Amino acid sequence: MRNYTLLSAELLTGRTHQIRVHLNHLGFPIAVTTNTATSSSTGDWRSRPEAHVPARGRTGVRASAFRESPETACAASRRPVALSRFAGKLMRYPLLVFDWDGTLIDSAPAIVACIQAACRDLGLTVPDEARASHVIGLGLKDALSYAIPACPRTTTAGWWSRTAGTFSRATPGSRSFREPKRCLQASKLAAHSRHRHRKEPRGPRAGAG
Amino acid sequence: MFAASRCADECASKPAPDMLSELMEELGANAVDTLVIGDTVHDLQMAAHAGVQAVAVSHGAHPRGDLVALAPLACLANIDELTLWLARNA
């Protein structure tokens, strides 16, 4: 077994022979396999493709299986292949969903300041920075019940309009929007060049904030 | 720059998977074709609830330790690292 690598691959998409093709490309051909991937259930387990790549009905490779333990795979196989170099070829996400506040734009400090200011205005207990920033991304109800546990329900509307009002007047965050824009453009370009070859729908990006 | 968007005013907010599942439906993507990038545990939980993989950035609202505890594919320190990671892996 010294020259074999036991690898667990999670099967996610419906592309034919992807595991075989990818592993072969990486220099780790599946042992004793056939094109049809059919085999007898008897005999040495190494002769059965499913012993190496447990099938789950659909084929395809999730690259994290490689990224999580490339060293193990290399050491076990004695093949000094830089698996991470190939990870991008295995893992494709046609849809990237970006959170907005805090991820693409540096609005977290301003939101925290607005939450605290609104609480001060309404005479409520002012949450500290950690508590206030924890609720960024939550809906109003969840945000309020965590940031201001003692907040009476009737105060909700006032709190929200105060926070929103303060925020709309707030100075934008310190981080420039140029960096996130570059990031989005770079990932979009990469998607385009990939999809040109693959003739698949161009990769949309989406925001969930 | 964006093909679609959802915010908490339009459907159930994070950590419910609704924003994500609506985006996937609108854009015709499966969970395995989708990657979430976010700075909070709410983003990572939303992704997990929708069966979608996620990458965290630690320059935002939540501390790195909280994000890493939810086992994202990667936890990146800034936009440059994110750009590089996406170019290589996404």
**pLDDT band of B17, cuts 50, 70, 90:** very high
What structural domains and CATH numbers belong to chain B? Answer: 18-89 (3.40.50.1000)
* Residue in B with minimal Cα distance to A67: B73
List the structure tokens of A165: 């009002």
Residues 6+ apart with CB under 8 A from A75: none
Residue A207 pairs with which residues in a beta bridge? A98, B5
Global ipTM: 0.97
Look-up of token digits 């698949």: A200
C-beta atoms of A95 and B34 within 8 A: yes
The residue among A26 and B21 whose pLDDT is bigger is B21
Interval A33-89: pLDDT, tens: 554 333 333 333 333 333 333 333 222 222 222 223 333 332 223 233 333 334 444
A82 touches chain B (CB under 8 A): no
Measure Cα distances from A168 to A128, A163, A164, A171 in Å: 21, 9, 6, 8
**Per the CB < 8 Å rule, is B83 touching A186?**
yes
pLDDT tens-digit map of A113-166: 888 888 888 888 899 999 999 998 888 888 888 888 877 666 666 777 777 777
Q: CA-nearest residue of chain A to B86?
A: A187
